[in-house]
Amino acid sequence: MEIKRLVFNPFRENTYVAWDDTKECVIVDAGNMVEGENRILKEFIEAHGLKPVMAVNTHGHFDHVGGVKWLKDTYGAQFACSTKDKFIIDSTAGGTMYGFKCNEVPEIDVDLDAVGEIRFGETVLRVIKTPGHTPGHVVLFNEAAKILFTGDTLFKESIGRTDLPGGDYSWIMKSILEEVVPLGDDVTLYPGHEDSSTIGHEVLYNPFIVEVLNNEINYKG
């Protein structure tokens, strides 16, 4: 599996194009919100001869779903996201947030709360539920390449916000410690914002994880 990171919108959201030798691809967290960003994504897809089959979302925040309708209209790509985040999508789609106009978002085609994996070409992404940043947040794991798309659950030396609607600190820490960390130190993390990392690095240097592992804080309340 090959991966290209494109940074879009004022929140500097990471949009990932993932593909394999079949040239089928998925777009993980399509944050392209304006015509210029659509053009950048389209030029990359066409330059590599790719066929987008799905827009896969780790969660439903507007800075991650802004390009879904464009992908569906342009390529017929299905929209995969947890329906537990539908209330978040519905609350912002077509409206405004932080002074920014939010794009319309189509109905969810594939409920990631109800499936265990996403397939494209010869590639499998395991869907792992990681509520906390949002109720329906998931991460996407390719075991063969040891790659994990973490969305806004886990960043390099930080974690996702839990003060937004549906967020919960105890749940995000439970998700990280019980679902993400056990995948192994050598797994590379591709987060929704900022740079990539590894699970091993985060276990050593992420202050939110370290303080729990050192029994300095009880995330369970």
Domains and CATH numbers, the chain: 2-213 (3.60.15.10)
pLDDT at 110: 98
Tokens 């050593």 belong to residue: 204
- Whether 220 shows a pLDDT value over 90: the answer reads no
Summarize pLDDT for 113-171 with one digit per residue, the tens.
999 999 999 999 999 999 999 999 999 999 999 999 999 999 999 999 999 999 999 99
Name the pTM for this structure: 0.97
Banded pLDDT at 221 (limits 50, 70, 90): low
**How high is the pLDDT of residue 93?**
74
CA quadruple 132, 177, 154, 3: dihedral positive or negative?
negative
Mean pLDDT estimate for the chain: 96
| Residues 151 and 58: beta-carbon distance below 8 Å | yes
SS3 73: helix
Tens digits of residue pLDDT in 178-203:
999 999 999 999 999 999 999 999 99
What is the pLDDT at residue 173? Answer: 98
Pairing type for strands 188-191 and 158-159 reads: unpaired
What distances in angstroms separate CA 117 from CA 54, 79, 214, one per listed residue?
13, 14, 34
Please enumerate in sequence order all residues whose Cβ is within 8 A of that of 178, keeping only pairs 6 or more positions apart, or say none.
Answer: none
Outline where DSSP puts E strands in 9-46: 13-19, 24-28
- pLDDT tens per residue, range 15-73: 999 999 999 999 999 999 999 999 999 999 999 999 999 999 999 999 999 999 999 99
Residue listed under structure tokens 């390449």: 145
